[in-house]
A and B are shown apart, each in its own frame.
Chain A
């Protein structure tokens, strides 16, 4: 074998040898390049924040941390953030479970409407709810004025409510997925043995869902403590870590303390990431495969039905109202003061420019993100090198990293040559690329797992080089995953605020930042109108996604049928 290989290489000219080398090692070269990209644009900024938090002009110092722990204000900020995360997690997971249970086990007629209402917040930025609460309960809010309710919405309560509404879909989606994969025979067996529905939920459904519940809880926790918009807009004088970081960096230009706050923000995420991997290790309830039985609708017991319907309807109605008032406020001159129909907020030039900028940035991010995500998925699944798991872990972790920390990290890491990126459009796009990689990578991995490697091997066998195989076989197969990554990155980049708020430069406003500024200064009409336009773009995007998946699915099925 070795002898023939040597003679084979000996016959090749220099150029051919290089080509051959690339063919043989292409996947490793690709993996290395991707790893470098992840290192530069994901790990390095985080590392920069960490370094900054220990840095003084004289060198290493713990002074900033000492500063943090000796100031009651910062401690309060940390406490509030964790408490907010805890309360949000409990409510979101409980309500999310109610929704998920109703849409999978509830009456047929309610399943679809409840599912739609539980997913609606996904199309909007989380801070839409801050805006809605101001419209309803602000100083000149609709409910404040109509009913004379004088409820201080600026503060801890307000943030909790806004965050809860914003993150119900996250919990719902994860739990629904989990319940759907539960074998309905398990619950039926318990039912058969005489258990009532309440007992079944307590003794079977919830224990079986516990890995899913835990996962959902951890994710909601991480996302809510990192979310910047609601706390910044509604927090008032109550300190939270994310907006405090913003104040430190943008307001006082104190990068050291900003970095310390960022580290504080990222610590729970790391703890949770480790805990999650540790706790869920091997804790998956698998069942023997049988014929799949769709869960048949069964009559719900009133003891379960009544409270579940009450909860889902209450939250569903609230979500609906929140959206309705934002749409309305977009067309009102000055809400509560001059309630007349106007188009000036919708037509506002700065707002339109910001939307246009956001579309541009998101498009660039989506394009780069889609490509990198697809390639990453490929090297993760097909590569045979050490560190594959590490690459997977890093590329998926961006999802759980607080945007605020990424924002601060980019600001520190890319402020000076050789990698000066601040002030341009690329820095806005790149942070989105690496934060939102996870979905594209996951979609790619799933796609590749569905496809037998033998298809690629068949191509090699027929004499194609690695590169030809990649281009002619792998890329077409992975196209749907690319689209998924593209659209997801586009949608999230459109609404994302927490990182870009640090990175925008004057003259290059983004829609998210415009909304944030407008809401913070009480320009409700402008904030609502911009939100409405943003949501419209996102919805259009989703419609395109739907059409595309329909199209590509059909395409794939046809190919599968022919094979």
Chain B
């Protein structure tokens, strides 16, 4: 990706209220060429509104929408080089698949032959050859999704807007389509904004994730950054499950980033790479279930090992979820490939080992939303 290239899409300080209800509070985002950026957040966080603002369907109160260096915030949807694909596909039920794909091209006054060529090309692209003359209601949900996607691509838009495009499909098909969309998107190198409420979908498909909540951006980053280095409690618990543990930093060495923290279960030795922490800070340890080691207790006191009781053991095949009581606090530990693990029984005494590489958050910090 050209590093000096200007971002294709820039949102600058977008504000939007519906009546008294503030939906977006100063959203600024940059989307580079060829990038797939996901807006993710709980329902009501403003992600769809933001997408509709980019598409021109909803008017924003203030701020700027810039596409290829040109401010387009004032333009109606028909004059923008963005193409939206709605959650319910919005395929025209009175037209055939082919006519749906040709609709936008006819509007652009392409000649008939060229339109037909393009339609065939699109059908091949989404593997729907031979479905040209079908009516929409004779297509399955997954096929309709492909048609909708192809229709949005018909007149190569500068930015593709996908509003929860696969949330109406069943679980297996959803994963299939998700990977298909990602494949086509990278292949065609098309700048894409993808809205979803599904964190794992966002993780799987994105170059960059924008986590929204209550109309504020909580964090922008790659899937790895979002998962491994969440900036606040909300992000940490939004993507995947997380155990929080209160701690106080006793000492921290800047050079080696080795730190000692004290918790209600004793002292832990950690590597805290985040530079902003100093001795005496109250912090929150973000401990992912898959980073914890679990074993039957042998009663020996060792570094970073906490004693507990196995309360529930839930076997799901690839994974076993262990609910472990540490005192009166319950934490979750994941065992991958449980068949190879030492057998554990409910009510066994167990010990859990906390990894040194734990992500740390400032306690009670209300996150970057205030900055």
B108 & A188 in contact (Cβ 8 Å cutoff): no
Contacts of B91 in A (CB 8 A): 287
* A204-B103 Cα distance, complex, nearest whole Å: 10
Which stretch from A42-50, A191-199, A487-495 is at the chain B interface?
Answer: A191-199
**Closest A residue to B109 using CB positions:** A194
> Taking the complex as formed, is A550 at the interface, i.e. its CB lies under 8 A from any CB of chain B?
no
B87-106 near A? 1/0 per residue, CB < 8 Å: 11111111000000001100
A290 & B76 in contact (Cβ 8 Å cutoff): no
* A295-B52 Cα distance, complex, nearest whole Å: 12
> Taking the complex as formed, is B186 at the interface, i.e. its CB lies under 8 A from any CB of chain A?
no
- Using known A-B contacts A185-B88, A287-B90, A290-B87, determine if residue A192 contacts B82 with beta carbons closer than 8 Å: yes
- Min CB distance A546 to B, Å, is 25
B89 & A194 in contact (Cβ 8 Å cutoff): no
* A193-B77 Cα distance, complex, nearest whole Å: 8
A288 & B84 in contact (Cβ 8 Å cutoff): no
A208 & B88 in contact (Cβ 8 Å cutoff): no
* A188-B82 Cα distance, complex, nearest whole Å: 12
- Min CB distance B40 to A, Å, is 16
A residues with CB within 8 A of B: 183, 185-186, 188-196, 199, 203-204, 207-208, 210, 285-291, 296, 298-299
14 sampled A-B residue pairs with Cβ under 8 A: A183-B90, A188-B77, A190-B92, A190-B107, A191-B77, A191-B78, A192-B55, A193-B104, A194-B78, A195-B103, A286-B137, A287-B88, A290-B168, A296-B52
- Using known A-B contacts A191-B78, A192-B82, A194-B104, determine if residue A285 contacts B93 with beta carbons closer than 8 Å: yes
**Closest A residue to B99 using CB positions:** A203
Contacts of A286 in B (CB 8 A): 93, 137
A288 & B76 in contact (Cβ 8 Å cutoff): no
Which 8 pairs across A and B sit closest by C-beta, in order of nearness? A290-B88, A193-B104, A185-B90, A285-B93, A290-B87, A189-B90, A185-B86, A194-B107
- Min CB distance A237 to B, Å, is 46
* A179-B138 Cα distance, complex, nearest whole Å: 23
B151-180 near A? 1/0 per residue, CB < 8 Å: 100110000000010001000000000000
Contacts of A290 in B (CB 8 A): 86-88, 164, 168
> Taking the complex as formed, is B359 at the interface, i.e. its CB lies under 8 A from any CB of chain A?
no
Most chain B CB atoms below 10 A, which of A194, A286, A290: A194
B107 & A188 in contact (Cβ 8 Å cutoff): no
* A289-B141 Cα distance, complex, nearest whole Å: 11
B residues with CB within 8 A of A: 52, 55-58, 76-80, 82-84, 86-94, 103-104, 107-108, 137, 141, 144, 151, 154-155, 164, 168
User: Other than the known A188-B57, A193-B83, what 5 A-B pairs have Cβ atoms closer than 8 Å?
Assistant: A191-B77, A208-B92, A210-B94, A285-B93, A290-B88
Contacts of B88 in A (CB 8 A): 183, 185, 287-290
- Min CB distance A291 to B, Å, is 6
* A327-B59 Cα distance, complex, nearest whole Å: 45
A190 & B93 in contact (Cβ 8 Å cutoff): no
B107 & A195 in contact (Cβ 8 Å cutoff): yes
- Min CB distance A298 to B, Å, is 7
A288 & B83 in contact (Cβ 8 Å cutoff): no
* A285-B93 Cα distance, complex, nearest whole Å: 6
Contacts of B93 in A (CB 8 A): 208, 285-287
A188 & B144 in contact (Cβ 8 Å cutoff): no
**Closest B residue to A200 using CB positions:** B78
Contacts of B86 in A (CB 8 A): 185, 188-189, 290
**Closest B residue to A285 using CB positions:** B93
* A186-B107 Cα distance, complex, nearest whole Å: 15
A288 & B89 in contact (Cβ 8 Å cutoff): yes
B104 & A188 in contact (Cβ 8 Å cutoff): no
Contacts of A194 in B (CB 8 A): 78-79, 104, 107-108, 155
A207 & B83 in contact (Cβ 8 Å cutoff): no
* A298-B164 Cα distance, complex, nearest whole Å: 23
A288 & B144 in contact (Cβ 8 Å cutoff): yes
- Min CB distance A247 to B, Å, is 47
* A262-B217 Cα distance, complex, nearest whole Å: 71
- Min CB distance A191 to B, Å, is 5
Most chain A CB atoms below 10 A, which of B58, B82, B94, B154: B94
* A296-B55 Cα distance, complex, nearest whole Å: 13
